[in-house]
Amino acid sequence: MTNYEQFLSHAAGLMKESAIRQMGSVLSQSKDMISFAPGYPAEDQFPWIDFTDICRELLTGTDGSVLQYGPTRGFRPLRETTIDLMKARGITSTLENVLITTGSQQGLDLVGRVLIDPGDVVLMELPSYTGAISAFRNVGAAMVGVRQHEDGIDLDHLDDTYLQLVKQGRRVKMLYVVPNFQNPTGLLMGLSKRPAIVDWAERRDVLIVEDDPYRDLYFPDVSSEAETRPIAADDRYGRVIYLSSFSKTLAPAFRVAWISAPPAIAAKLEVAKQAGDLCTGGFDQRVVAEACRRGLLERHIPELRAHYQQKRDTMVRAIGQHMADQVTWTLPRGGFFLWVALSHQLRSRDVMPLAQARGVIYVDGSAFFVDGTGTEFMRLSFSAPSPSRIEEGVRRLAAAVTAAAAISPAPPVATP
């Protein structure tokens, strides 16, 4: 018998299975399971008819390059489109900055590979997106958490953490932030904090990785486009690496996202991508470029905002009705996620099997904390299920929490 363990790299030893992807596997095993787990867009909202028309037009064969290998940087008209999209968000960029990536996940992976040596520190919001945590962990990053408030990252704690690390002789290379409707909390970073973060990065000689997949999906009842101004828009120094995606606004199956970085870094990302997958899917890029050219985003995104806002309302109402005495939660002003804290010292992972048994899944919030805390949190995604399934799912979840509380009663309060 071959002993495969001895062949694995040190990096392979660091790799951990994604908590979100694990839930995806659970989901695929049962038809009746209601999923609040992966942040999947609503399938009935995909613009099926537009895509059918676009594919037919692209596949006439008059342009052979539609199905050919393409440049590693991406299909040029699509790169130009992303420059226009960023311009509308207040960000100045050129072709030298932009690279199309195979989903934003690849962008994060490339950033990790090009910038991080084992032991380098990446500052992460507490909590933060698991996909970024995985990508940075795989290259040996030391991730250190920074507290958040209702309006996003705590700037004092950010600088204190930085100074303490430097005092310990650590190299702090970057800060990873999701300012708009953060995954997992749904938080929206306050407008005044954004330029302050860029100034901080310049002062401390640190790079910022700004991940911005949800910004278009603000909810008009409590938010506005002006409140989603990217950090990169106020970057006068070249400190920000900006990532965004078409996965949430068009469809994730196309795996088309982009990254905009200072030219010296973008050039390295390109070389890393050459060896990573040569190029992002050429047909996918054409479909997305043509969808943009036809104005599909402008027509489609307002419908998506209304759609997800309604689902948020459904979930918040159901939680208020069935779980108000068991949990606390924040009202998301955009995005896909409701961030829920269990009361009575219940742990998310203890509720999990009981929830699964009742036909509902979510993601254990502790997966999003790089400091090992957050055991009381659940990330509930309201984006994919129908309103009636959301209601039913919350009912099942309430039953699971009740059952968990009955099994493991709250431990006695510690006396000082």
Looking at beta carbons only, is 199 or 227 nearer to a copy of itself? 199
Q: Which residues from 304-333 bind a copy of itself, rule CB under 8 A?
A: none
- What burial class does residue 8 get, using C-beta atoms within 10 Å of its C-beta: 0-12 exposed, 13-18 middle, 19+ buried? exposed
Number of residues that bind a copy of itself (CB under 8 A): 90
- What burial class does residue 29 get, using C-beta atoms within 10 Å of its C-beta: 0-12 exposed, 13-18 middle, 19+ buried? exposed
255 binds a copy of itself (CB under 8 A): yes
Looking up tokens 């250190």 gives 144
CA-wise closest residue to 95 among 263, 238, 265: 263
138 binds a copy of itself (CB under 8 A): yes
- Judged by CB under 8 A, the residue of 30, 68, 92, 408 near a copy of itself is 68
Q: For 149, list phi and psi in degrees, rounded to 5.
A: -115, -175
- Judged by CB under 8 A, the residue of 81, 97, 128, 134 near a copy of itself is 134
Looking at beta carbons only, is 21 or 149 nearer to a copy of itself? 21
> Which x/- pattern over 369-388 shows residues binding a copy of itself (rule: CB under 8 A)?
--------------------
Rounded least distance, CB 287 to a copy of itself, Å:
8
59 binds a copy of itself (CB under 8 A): yes
CA-wise closest residue to 250 among 38, 47, 88, 44: 47
Q: Which residues from 262-301 bind a copy of itself, rule CB under 8 A?
A: 262, 264-265, 268, 271-272, 274-284, 286
- Judged by CB under 8 A, the residue of 26, 55, 191, 341 near a copy of itself is 55
Stretch near a copy of itself under the rule CB under 8 A, chosen from 21-29, 88-96, 154-162, 180-188: 21-29
- Amino acid residing at 28: S
CB distance 129 to 137 below 8 Å: no
- Judged by CB under 8 A, the residue of 217, 251, 296, 390 near a copy of itself is 251
28 binds a copy of itself (CB under 8 A): yes
| Structure-derived torsion over alpha carbons of residues 38, 40, 44, 48, reported in degrees to the nearest 10 | -140
> Which x/- pattern over 333-372 shows residues binding a copy of itself (rule: CB under 8 A)?
----------------------------------------
Looking at beta carbons only, is 65 or 224 nearer to a copy of itself? 65
Q: Which helix (H) or strand (E) holds 258?
A: strand 257-260
Looking at beta carbons only, is 55 or 155 nearer to a copy of itself? 55
- Rounded distance between C-alpha atoms, residue 350 and residue 162, angstroms: 35
- Judged by CB under 8 A, the residue of 84, 96, 117, 151 near a copy of itself is 117
Q: How far apart are the first and last CA of the chain?
A: 57
Residue 128: CB atoms within 10 Å: 27
Q: Which two tokens stand for residue 287?
A: 């479909």
The Cβ-side half-sphere exposure at 118, using a 13 Å CA radius, reads: 5
18 binds a copy of itself (CB under 8 A): yes
